[in-house]
Amino acid sequence: MKYELLEVSGESCANCFTLLPIVNRLAAARGIPVRHLEVTEETAAEVQALYIERVPTLIVFKEGIEIARCTGYLPEEILEAWLDAKLEE
């Protein structure tokens, strides 16, 4: 099965900046590609289409279909447990 992790962040979001290397490390350890989407005027339509209400937002896709989403900063241990649980479903 093909998974993808989308990380949506804002330019001046401290939590986003802190979370991104953690997300990249966890995804790499699981062989999952990460796509980073910065909220800007150019990406506003995509952000709106994804119903992003706040940043950071993480979305797990399986075969192109959203299967899980979390918003806000999560400590690494909790994020790791959340991601592993979603990949096992």
Please list the pLDDT of the chain residue by residue as tens digits (89 residues).
Answer: 799 999 999 988 999 999 999 999 999 999 999 999 999 999 999 999 999 999 999 999 999 999 999 999 999 999 999 999 998 87
Rounded Cα distance between 51 and 27, Å, is: 23
Q: Which of 25, 4, 13 is nearest to 72 (CA)?
A: 13
Rounded Cα distance between 61 and 33, Å, is: 10
Domain boundaries, the chain: 3-88
Kindly report the pTM of this predicted structure.
0.92
Q: Which fold has domain 3-88?
A: Glutaredoxin (3.40.30)
Between strands 3-10 and 57-62, the pairing is antiparallel
Q: Identify the pLDDT of residue 6.
A: 96
Q: Identify the pLDDT of residue 11.
A: 86
Q: Which residues contact 66 (CB under 8 A, 6 or more apart)?
A: 59, 60
